[in-house]
Structure 1
Amino acid sequence: MGLFGTKEAKEQRRTGIAAKVPRHSSGWTQLLKELKQQEGLRILDFGATSSTNINFVTSLGHSIYTVGLIDEAADPKWTLQSQLFEQPAFDTENFLKENLEFGERNFDVVLLWDTVAYLPSHLVGPVVERICSVMAPGGRLLGFFPVKPEGEFSRFHLREDDQVDMQKAGSYSLQTILTTRQIENLFASFTAYKFFLAKDNLREVLVTR
């Protein structure tokens, strides 16, 4: 049975909305403890707007800012046509300015989820570098990384327990699968990281700025 099994599939067909499927997350469990111990944190949440996440975060006394990159990265407006390039180039500089420019904001927590896996490979490094630049010292980042070329792009909704709810969020294909060493290299400018083993095809990492 797939992730969206019989019961969930029936509900999706009935409502036209993808069902939410719970998934245990050791990274979220640890991060939630920290969120409950502090107040007034700024949280950057990657993915489509989730009223669940907004209500959950604000109920803990924090603020939340949501940004979705996957839909935006697929927009052809970022393709540069030029005789200087054999292949069309991607306008990375303006993409970052429009989607990851936060003024004077610095974030204490970043919920990156599985965004990296669905970004074009040429965007992965620049996006993580920009995220690092807008995080406060000691800030925490939670990322999910597929270990196999399987799965579906999902929106993750926060819960009070040791789980997050996954909800299919589009028909996007995996773009980037990273090994543990590649993930370590990706976050080389951060001060520390901790990996969590999972029973499914997602590797979790909690990174400290």
Structure 2
Amino acid sequence: MNWRPQPPSSSTTSSSNVPAGARRSYALESLTNLLRTQEGLQILDLGGLNQANLDFVTGLGHRLYAEDIVKACDSFFTKQEFANKHFDSHRIAQFIDQTFDFPDQSSDGALVWDVLQFLPNPIAQAVLDRLYRILAPDSFLLAFFHPESGGPAAKPHSCRIIDAKHLMFMPRESARTIELYTTRSIERFFHQFAAVKFFLTRENLQEVIVKR
């Protein structure tokens, strides 16, 4: 599976048009300020393609590549592998090579959203390791983590950028097993990166910007 480059589109949405249900995101606001100081970056979106994110990123003068990693994982691995919670390292390597068709240090940022928490831990770690290779030095990674009280099963979200400060979280249809991360385990998860900055929302959602 190859990532699909998306062409530039329209500019960002005005904050006056924020719909009901949108959430304030301080991590997104911080990231937007960074993106406005640069031009022509290559950004990866692991949550799949949606028009809102395409319009926002390209409106800031950057290029967006999108793939739904959760869907790709479900298509590649068998139901038996998920049921047994056993994923052969060679199979994981095949999945990573098939899904991430990018040279090392070729991308400038990754919008990971909450997808890592809805992948089995060995696969999530392999995805993160490949992102570390793909991302250029001083690039960024944006990720969300649901609190421990979220329970053993929850629904991943389609995260749509409304404007520079707001996101709309759209739950997917079916619930999945959720891997729970404490603040300390998130720090360990990103141990090979240069820095991890946390933002806490009113909903107790952990927002993280990681520096490569």
TM-score range, shorter chain: 0.7 to 0.9
Identity, in percent, stands at: 31
Q: Which moved more, 1:163-172 or 1:45-54?
A: 163-172
- Contact 1:28–1:162 at 8 Å: present in 2 too? yes
Q: Find the counterpart in structure 1 of residue 124 from structure 2.
A: 124
Structure number with larger C-alpha Rg: 1
Instruction: Write the deviation string for residues 12-69 of structure 1: whole angstroms up to 9, x where unpaired.
Output: xxxxxxx983111111010001111111111011112111111221111100000111
Q: Which residue pairs with 1:60 in the alignment?
A: 60
Of the three residues 137, 155, 170, the one matched with 1:152 is 155
TM-score normalised by length of structure 1: 0.81
Which amino acid is 1:198 matched to? T
Name the count of aligned residue pairs.
Answer: 187
Aligned partners of 1:101, 1:69: CA distance in 2, in Å?
13
Is the partner of 2:36 in helix, strand or coil?
Answer: helix
Superposed counterparts of 1:94-133, under 5 Å: 94-103=94-103, 106-133=106-133
Find out whether 1:188 has 2:191 as its counterpart.
yes
1:78 equivalenced with 2:81 (yes/no): no
CA apart distance, 1:144: 0.2
User: Are 2:197 and 2:210, in contact at CA under 8 Å, matched by a contact in 1?
Assistant: yes
Instruction: Kindly provide the amino acid, as one letter, of the partner of residue 150 in structure 2.
Output: P
CA contact (8 A) 2:105 2:133 kept: no
Instruction: Please tell me the root mean square deviation across aligned C-alpha atoms, in Å.
Output: 2.4
CA–CA distance in structure 2, aligned partners of residues 171 and 20 of structure 1: 23
C-alpha distance in structure 2 between counterparts of 1:179 and 1:104, whole Å: 30
Aligned mates of 1:27, 1:162 — CA distance in 2:
8
1:12-31 matched pairs, under 5 angstroms: 21-31=21-31
Note closer, same or farther for the CA distance 1:89–1:79 as it changes in structure 2 (3 Å cut). farther
Provide the TM-score with structure 2 as the length reference: 0.80
| Residues 170 and 131 of structure 1: CA distance in aligned 2, closer, same or farther (over 3 Å) | farther
Paired residue type of 1:32 = T
Cα distance in 2 between the residues matched to 1:54 and 1:127: 22
Structure 2 residue 69 is the aligned partner of structure 1 residue 69: yes
Q: Render the CA deviation track for 1:146-179: whole Å, top value 9, x for unaligned.
A: 1122553111111323111111233132421111
Once residues 160 and 85 of structure 2 are traced to their aligned partners in structure 1, the CA distance between those partners, rounded to angstroms, is 38
SS at match of 2:93: helix
1-structure distance, mates of 2:95, 2:168: 29
Distance 1:152 1:61, change over 3 A: same
Where does structure 1 lack aligned partners over 5 or more consecutive residues? 1-18
Could you tell me which amino acid in structure 1 is paired with residue 77 of structure 2?
W
Unaligned runs of 5+ in 2: 1-18
Between 152-161 and 186-195, report the one with greater CA deviation: 152-161
How far does the alpha carbon of each residue in 1:126-155 deviate from its partner, in whole angstroms, 9 at most, with x for none? 111111110010001111001122553111
Q: Which residue number in structure 2 is paired with residue 168 of structure 1? A: 171
